[in-house]
Amino acid sequence: MVEFLSRRSIPHESRDIAENEAWLNELVNMGYMATPVTLIGDEAVVGFSADKLNTVLRQQGFAES
């Protein structure tokens, strides 16, 4: 996921829920029980789908590269 966003020069913050229980709790409180979860604006992409990520990124104003 990080590589996918980095290759496209998309600013991002990576959070390893194994390193920080607060991040895990935040994810669970949002209703997610699986990772990865990528939040782009108000949209969440669960799992890795390049097509879905590119669609949401375009909708948020990031050009596909």
Over residues 16-59, the pLDDT tens digits come to 999 999 999 999 999 999 999 999 988 999 999 999 999 999 99
Residue 28 counted as domain residue: yes
Structural domains counted in the chain: 1
Q: What is the pLDDT of residue 64?
A: 65
Distance CA 57, CA 29 (A): 24
Q: Give the residue with greater pLDDT, 64 vs 61.
A: 61
pTM above 0.95, yes or no: no
Q: What is the pLDDT of residue 57?
A: 94
**Tokens describing residue 3:** 């590589």
Distance CA 4, CA 44 (A): 16
The range of the structural domain enclosing residue 16 comes to 2-59
Looking at residue 62, what DSSP letter applies? P
Residue 27 counted as domain residue: yes
Q: What is the pLDDT of residue 21?
A: 97
Q: The domain that contains 37 carries what CATH number?
A: 3.40.30.10
Residue 65 counted as domain residue: no
Token pair 């390893």 is found at 16
Residue 49 counted as domain residue: yes
Residue 64 counted as domain residue: no
Q: Is the pLDDT of residue 65 over 60?
A: no
Distance CA 39, CA 1 (A): 12
Q: Which residue spans within 9-64 are E strands per DSSP?
A: 37-40, 43-46
